[in-house]
Amino acid sequence: MSISHSSNSLKAVTLTHVRYQRGDRLGHFLAWVSLIPVFISLGGFVSHILFRRELQVIFFACGLIASQFINEVIKTSVQQSRPETCALLEMCDSHGWPSSHSQYMFFFAIYFALLSILRSRTPKLLLATLPWPLAILTMYSRVYLGYHTVAQVFAGAALGLLLGAIWFWMVNYVLIGYFPAIEESSIGRLLYLKDCSHIPNVLKFEYDNARAARTRMAARKLSAD
């Protein structure tokens, strides 16, 4: 991929510094696509952990963090340069192999897909396929925008798939046995950590309990009056 960039023709998505060619609508779209890992981390995991406190999600997030740490260790050890286009973007201050964006998204996609197949009662195939287009678009965006080579994004994708599958197995077939103990621990009680793995339909469970609680409160109010 050969792109001729000049400093005057480069434009960054505001507050993100993901650069694309000025006037390139596809590049602008892919610059936002490239930020999907940020949106998932901040908008998805942080908010979900703060307000839901589910152990499955917490361990999912821990796996992604560990995956990114492994990515950084590999990058530092291998020290493979990014493509020349990345130097022209003036935003590349780390090594390129494997792509951390691709690794993140494919880890997320495989874990999400396997979890959907294991636990969801909605059409499992449909739910399991949802993250894959985003993962592929993110991988493509890193090459199109000049931040990585094709080999670097495929290496990240392969590593993400491998680590995601291994971590899913570890959490859902080994560590899940410790969830009740974590839930009942002093820290678990203090932080309101909970395990919903045994509930077939969490949405319906919470809906039914919310309605039941409201009915009980209304009955107590009537009896008090």
Binned average pLDDT, 10 residues per bin, the chain of 225 residues: 48 60 86 88 85 92 95 92 77 83 96 86 76 95 92 96 97 94 94 86 83 86 77
| Torsion of the alpha carbons at 174, 180, 183 and 185, rounded to the nearest 10 | -100
Alpha carbons 139 and 136: distance in angstroms, whole number: 5
Q: Which residues of 99-117 are buried (b: 16+ CB within 10 A; e: fewer)?
A: bbbbbbbbbbbbbbbbbbe
pLDDT value of residue 132: 95
CA distance 225 to 218: 11
Structure-derived torsion over alpha carbons of residues 200, 60, 44, 204, reported in degrees to the nearest 10: 10
pLDDT recorded at residue 87: 73
Prediction pTM value: 0.85
pLDDT of residue 155: 96
CB atoms within 10 A of CB 86: 21
**Residue 121: its pLDDT value, please?**
60
Q: Is the peptide bond before 98 cis (omega within 30 degrees of 0)?
A: yes
Q: Which of 47, 33, 166 is nearest to 105 (CA)?
A: 33
Q: How far is CA 182 from CA 48, 63, 77, 112, in A?
A: 18, 17, 36, 23
The pLDDT score that the predictor gives to residue 59 is 95
> What's the pLDDT score for residue 11?
55
